[in-house]
Chain A
């Protein structure tokens, strides 16, 4: 492992408690480049590593507004400007009948933005990630919890960080190549 580039040191936990306590300790010790891996959403773990805000709701709002505007303006442009047609003497700008498509387009754009935005911010699809070099990482999608302190962290020192993680509830601490 000495001549390989290191991604980080990974500790493995069997309980969500062990993971969250270790995350909080690591943050208190000044580590910032780290990530927790859990088999189900555990909001406390994200908070414990200092990740509290996501941009997904803002993106979704923008997507929804753009969708609604494009839906309404499309109908306005078609029925008032591009292709005016008198139907039953109604005004060309008969806005009540434009509401439904405006609504549907709002939902459509907001939904697509939420999903695409979430995937993009998460950097997915991602064909390769060094964390998968950990021999037992497949358990992260089953029943185990992992905390990785990355080598890129300014406070990272291999021996010190390893000893730090060994002092937590971890059942195993391993180095993972990049």
Chain B
């Protein structure tokens, strides 16, 4: 990404006062907000750039289908996993994708409860990002089971075999946490869409679009009674999603922390997994938001203040993650446990030391540039930093999964892990699935929540005398 030229006069103000800058550039009315967001989907012609980008990622998605077909045919032996490293890329990618989803829920639910008005223009596409990221994540544990056509055995249902799943296992907690998370995220996203779909229904001129958006809007008519129940349900969903999102990555960390493996068995895992999830998720939000605001000209709705705030969240969560790394090292040293000490030494100096030190550089050292305000207000540099963080967070999971497993308690059971081309193909394929879904999303759905943007307008509020009559 090149540096984005900011020609708007108000952005100069933002450069000077990012904290006080309005979250919506002044001059908008109820009408212009609606028109601007609706026209991206209903009026704007499909550009060559969109077709090219979509074709690229759709092609990558087909790599996923091909790699999965071959996997089902041959079995997980085509991957680099073997005893002692039974959890390779599949689990690394699973944790990485679930983590990315977390920022979407944080933006839509937690920032809603904290009354952060700036979230209103980025929550919709961040929620879509969550949904697609969780879809990508869900693929991995399933195809990692070896016989994915029997994956429904994970769910408790009365069966002719007379057996039940083991509810004391963190792996089953994961099934419940991730499927609940996917369901609630989808509900939250869809409920948020209903009023905007009604706007689309009322604005569309194409009869097919009108019918489809009309069916999805379910007859929404903006009745005051409906809005009241709607707001109540939306707030309740936000309140439910807040502890849920914290619980999901906690449960994912339990997959490791509840085991007794050196390097996994620590109490610092749940908080530092959650912080890492938000860290990588905000990086993905920026990787998506920076091109979107440029190509669709929505810099007046996704302002530099949004980028600045997201960068600050990354800086904060990044420091928590860095604290997690140092505590992990301290625990190993302070425990006096020979195996813990060995894992620490092996991570830093063993055959996979490159991954540990790359992790420290990408996740701890480089992101410190976010202390500098110029970097936070420069979309190009933020984009680059976010990519570095995304890669660093992927490496973190690689270090946790692989370096703990490849040296067992007995040297006779030591092994090495090398990913095969099929490991890379499945991972690249999920990137294709994720980005092609995002490409479709920005063309088919309102990527900015129209009705919540209307609420940010000064003229949307009642004048004091009318409000005071109550």
Q: Which residues of A contact B (CB under 8 A)?
A: 15-17, 20-21, 24, 35-47, 49, 51, 54, 56-57, 60, 64, 74-75, 78-79, 82-83, 85, 87, 90, 94, 97-98, 100-101, 103-105, 107-108, 110-112, 114-115, 117-119, 121-122, 124-129, 131-132, 137-143
Q: Which of B163, B177, B224, B243 contacts A38 (CB 8 A)?
A: B224
Complex A-B: 12 CB contacts under 8 Å: A15-B459, A35-B223, A35-B225, A37-B223, A40-B195, A40-B227, A41-B227, A85-B166, A98-B167, A105-B180, A114-B233, A118-B230
A47 to B225, CA, bound (A): 9
Q: Which of A49, A79, A115, A125 contacts B168 (CB 8 A)?
A: A79
Q: Are A124 and B244 in touch, CB under 8 angstroms?
A: no
Q: How far is the CB of A47 from chain B (nearest CB, A)?
A: 7
Q: How far is the CB of B124 from chain A (nearest CB, A)?
A: 15
**Inside 8 A of B44's CB, which chain A residues have their CB?**
none
Q: Are A60 and B460 in touch, CB under 8 angstroms?
A: no
Query: Number of B residues whose C-beta is below 8 Å from A?
Result: 67
Of residues B198, B230, B232, B244, which shows the largest number of chain A Cβ atoms within 10 Å of its Cβ?
A: B232
Q: Interface of chain A, helix or strand or loop or mixed?
A: helix
A24: nearest chain-B partner, CB-CB: B469
- Do A37 and B230 contact each other (CB < 8 Å), given the known contacts A60-B236, A142-B202? no
Q: Are A41 and B218 in touch, CB under 8 angstroms?
A: no
* Nearest 10 pairs of A and B residues by beta carbon: A125-B218, A143-B30, A118-B233, A138-B202, A126-B219, A36-B224, A41-B227, A97-B168, A46-B228, A46-B224
A100 to B254, CA, bound (A): 11
- Do A104 and B31 contact each other (CB < 8 Å), given the known contacts A41-B227, A115-B233? no
Q: Is B187 an interface residue (CB 8 A)?
A: yes
Q: Are B236 and A56 in touch, CB under 8 angstroms?
A: yes
Q: How far is the CB of A84 from chain B (nearest CB, A)?
A: 10
**Inside 8 A of B187's CB, which chain A residues have their CB?**
111-112, 115
Q: Are A17 and B462 in touch, CB under 8 angstroms?
A: yes
Q: Are A142 and B233 in touch, CB under 8 angstroms?
A: no
Q: Is B2 an interface residue (CB 8 A)?
A: no
Q: Are B199 and A142 in touch, CB under 8 angstroms?
A: yes
**Inside 8 A of B325's CB, which chain A residues have their CB?**
none
A56: nearest chain-B partner, CB-CB: B232
Q: Which residues of B contact A (CB under 8 A)?
A: 29-31, 34, 156, 162-168, 172-173, 176-177, 180, 183-184, 187-188, 190-191, 195, 198-199, 201-203, 218-233, 236-237, 240-241, 243-244, 247, 251, 254, 451-452, 454-455, 459-463, 466-467, 469-470
A122 to B53, CA, bound (A): 41
A133 to B241, CA, bound (A): 38
- Do A78 and B164 contact each other (CB < 8 Å), given the known contacts A100-B176, A101-B176? yes
Q: Are B218 and A126 in touch, CB under 8 angstroms?
A: yes
Q: How far is the CB of A86 from chain B (nearest CB, A)?
A: 11
A121 to B130, CA, bound (A): 28
Q: Which of B162, B166, B228 contacts A51 (CB 8 A)?
A: B228
**Inside 8 A of A139's CB, which chain B residues have their CB?**
202
Q: Are A41 and B176 in touch, CB under 8 angstroms?
A: no
Q: Which of B172, B221, B466 contacts A129 (CB 8 A)?
A: B221
**Inside 8 A of A114's CB, which chain B residues have their CB?**
233, 236-237, 240
Q: How far is the CB of B51 from chain A (nearest CB, A)?
A: 30
Q: Are A119 and B167 in touch, CB under 8 angstroms?
A: no
- Do A105 and B163 contact each other (CB < 8 Å), given the known contacts A16-B460, A41-B227, A45-B224? no
Q: Are B229 and A37 in touch, CB under 8 angstroms?
A: no
Of residues A49, A98, A143, which shows the largest number of chain B Cβ atoms within 10 Å of its Cβ?
A: A143
Q: Are B168 and A56 in touch, CB under 8 angstroms?
A: no
A44 to B237, CA, bound (A): 22
- Do A143 and B34 contact each other (CB < 8 Å), given the known contacts A41-B230, A41-B231, A41-B455? yes
A85: nearest chain-B partner, CB-CB: B166
Q: A24-B469, A100-B254, A114-B236 are in contact. List 20 more A-B contacts (CB 8 A).
A: A17-B462, A37-B222, A41-B227, A41-B451, A43-B231, A45-B227, A57-B236, A60-B233, A60-B240, A75-B167, A78-B165, A83-B162, A83-B163, A85-B166, A87-B166, A100-B173, A115-B187, A115-B233, A125-B218, A132-B221
Q: Are B466 and A21 in touch, CB under 8 angstroms?
A: yes
**Inside 8 A of A100's CB, which chain B residues have their CB?**
173, 176-177, 247, 251, 254
Q: Are B467 and A44 in touch, CB under 8 angstroms?
A: yes
Q: How far is the CB of B28 from chain A (nearest CB, A)?
A: 11
B38: nearest chain-A partner, CB-CB: A142
Q: How far is the CB of A139 from chain B (nearest CB, A)?
A: 8
Q: Are A122 and B230 in touch, CB under 8 angstroms?
A: yes
**Inside 8 A of B254's CB, which chain A residues have their CB?**
100
